[in-house]
Structure 1
Amino acid sequence: MSLVTAGVVVLDCAEPEKLAEFYKELLDGRVTDVSANLVEIRGVDGFRIAFRRDANATPPSWPRPENSLQAHLDFLVEDLDEAERRVVGLGGRPLEARDAPGPYEERGYSDPAGHSFTLRLVRPLAPKQG
């Protein structure tokens, strides 16, 4: 048995209930733990994320340098446009107006509390046939 095992990603925010609802819907997840200052959810694939109440939490300013990236989440999707519509419909907002340069097709967003995350297109594992 491993001495240390992966735990849970925790984001600080002013309203953990609202932020948990955003990610619960985005990940088709369910709430697994609720206390006065923390809400944890589990996505359908087992990914765990929690939201801790911090009345003084300030959202990251990324891509601006001051108070920049505090944490960053990547989510794999099969359809960037469909995933973007879902993010925006749930109250998230795009941070980049076009696809990012580089080897991956991805787009940056912020959740309703200002935490940044990326939707990255899943690449097929096998080459196309025919």
Structure 2
Amino acid sequence: MALVKAGVVVLDCAEPETLAEFYKGLLDAEETATTANLIEIRGADGTRLAFRRDANATPPSWPRPENSLQAHLDFLVDDLDEAERVIVGLGGRPLEARVTSGPLEERGYADPSGHSFTLRRTTSTAPKQG
């Protein structure tokens, strides 16, 4: 039995309410805990994220070197284009375009508070036809 179990990823931000709404929409999540300075959500797949109020939060500047990548999240999707439309509709923005294609195709984004995350296309587990 593990002594320590994975808990929840916590992102510091100036406005946890805004960030919680963004990730609730992205992950089809529900709020599981709320205080004056912290909101926790659980995604439909069980992913747990929390957003902690920090009035002095400085968003990462990645890919620029100052305040560079502090941490980032990776999400798996079947359709990158559809996921991008949802992200932009929720207030996120693309960080870079990757021209690569194939099973390792990925794209970088920032949430409304500037935290970076990556979408990676899932590889099909269905047997090849024909």
TM-score by length of 2: 0.94
Partner of 2:55: 55
> Percent of counterpart pairs with the same letter?
78
Partner of 2:80: 80
In the alignment, the residues of structure 2 paired with residue 81 and residue 103 of structure 1 have an alpha-carbon distance, to the nearest angstrom, of 15
In the alignment, the residues of structure 2 paired with residue 20 and residue 67 of structure 1 have an alpha-carbon distance, to the nearest angstrom, of 23
In the alignment, the residues of structure 1 paired with residue 123 and residue 87 of structure 2 have an alpha-carbon distance, to the nearest angstrom, of 21
Report the CA distance between 1:125 and its aligned residue.
2.4
CA-based RMSD: 1.5
Q: How does 1:29-108 map to 2 (within 5 A)?
A: 29-99=29-99, 104-108=104-108
Partner of 1:8: 8
Q: What amino acid is the match of 2:104? A: Y
Q: What amino acid is the match of 2:24? A: K
Report the CA distance between 1:124 and its aligned residue.
1.1
Q: What amino acid is the match of 1:123? A: T
What do residues 79-129 of structure 1 show as CA deviations (whole Å, max 9, x unaligned)? 000000000000000001333589611100000000000111000124422
Q: Which consecutive unaligned segments of at least 5 residues does structure 1 have?
A: none
Give the number of aligned pairs.
130
Please state whether the residue corresponding to 1:10 is helix, strand or coil.
strand
In the alignment, the residues of structure 2 paired with residue 21 and residue 94 of structure 1 have an alpha-carbon distance, to the nearest angstrom, of 18
Q: Runs ≥4 in structure 1, deviation > 4 angstroms? A: 100-103
Partner of 1:121: 121
Please state whether the residue corresponding to 2:96 is helix, strand or coil.
coil
In the alignment, the residues of structure 2 paired with residue 31 and residue 99 of structure 1 have an alpha-carbon distance, to the nearest angstrom, of 36
